[in-house]
Every structure is written in C-alpha cells, then in structure tokens.
C-alpha cells in the first residue's frame, strides 16, 4: 500500500508540474493527461484525487506556502518544489488518513529524487512550519 501511495504522489507531482508550467489547472487538462498514463488504476485514481484536491484548494494552499516560506516568493520557487509543497500541504490538511509526518517524509523523499540537492531541507522547513501551525489550529 505504501508503494502504491508513493507512486501516486509521484504521478500527482508529474501532473501538477505539467499543469503549473502551462498555467492550466483545469479538470479537463487533468483528464487529458491521465488518459495518456498507463499506470495501475489504483495509482491513477489516487493521483487524480490528489491533483483535483490541490486544484480545488490551490489559492488556500498557495497562501500557506507564501505565509510559511520566509524570504521566498512562491513564483521564484522551482516548479517541482512548489508542487511538492502543494501536494504535501494538501495531504496534511485534506487527507486525514495520511499522518502529517508521512506527508512530510514523502515530500522530502520525492524532493531528493526529483529536485535539487538542498530541496529536501527546503521542503522540510516549510512543511514542518505548516504542520506546527495546523497543530496549533491556526490553519484549519
């Protein structure tokens, strides 16, 4: 199950990345991208739920990224890092079955694989700040 969830997060990152680059966060575009994928249906289904959740809550999620990324403008973040953060925050807030620590650790691992050498620390810092705020009921 963990491996399936990990693969779904990677697929969700790939889709969010494509949507972000084209600045087209529409359900139609998500559907077009998913039609081209040949992954397990459970992976596609979970990735789709993550992506649609990110899209539905994009303004709120981005406001949290802005609030918790001191001295970093969200538009200057790499597309990969920005979308890893979006997925991690989405899971922490809107996927109650995913423990915060799992969402953060997955985001760090994905960042280590798909982004720069220092991205894991960057991702961890922002997501941990969001996690602490959630724990203090400041964000929910």
How does residue 104 score in pLDDT terms, banded at 50, 70 and 90?
very high
pLDDT of residue 131: 95
Q: Is 20 within 8 Å of 91 (Cβ atoms)?
A: no
Instruction: Quote the tokens at residue 94.
Output: 């809107």
Q: What is the pLDDT of residues 46-93, one digit of tens each?
A: 999 999 999 999 999 999 999 999 888 899 999 999 999 999 999 999
CATH class of 2-135: mainly alpha
Q: 């969010």: which residue's tokens?
A: 16
Burial class (CB in 10 A: 0-12, 13-18, 19+), 57: middle
pLDDT at residue 129 is higher than 60 = yes
Q: 């941990």: which residue's tokens?
A: 128
Q: How many helices (H) and strands (E) does the chain have?
A: 7, 0
CA 70 vs CA 64, 65, 126: distances in Å: 11, 9, 9
* Cα distance between residue 94 and residue 99, in whole Å: 11
Whole-prediction pTM: 0.92
Instruction: Quote the tokens at residue 84.
Output: 């890893």
DSSP 121: H
Q: Would you kindly state where each structural domain of the chain is located, as residue ranges?
A: 2-135
């Amino acid at each position: 199950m963990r491996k399936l969830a990990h693969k779904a997060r990677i697929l969700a990152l790939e889709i969010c990345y494509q949507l972000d680059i084209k600045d087209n966060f529409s359900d139609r575009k998500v559907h077009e991208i998913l039609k081209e994928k040949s992954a397990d249906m459970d992976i596609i289904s979970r990735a789709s739920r993550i992506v649609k959740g990110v899209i539905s809550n994009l303004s709120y999620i981005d406001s949290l990224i802005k609030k918790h990324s001191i001295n970093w403008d969200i538009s200057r973040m790499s597309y990969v890092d920005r979308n890893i953060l979006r997925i991690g925050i989405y899971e922490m807030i809107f996927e109650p079955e995913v423990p915060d620590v799992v969402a953060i650790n997955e985001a760090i691992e994905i960042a280590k694989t798909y982004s720069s050498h220092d991205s894991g620390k960057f991702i961890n810092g922002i997501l941990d700040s969001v996690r602490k705020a959630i724990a203090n009921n400041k964000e929910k």
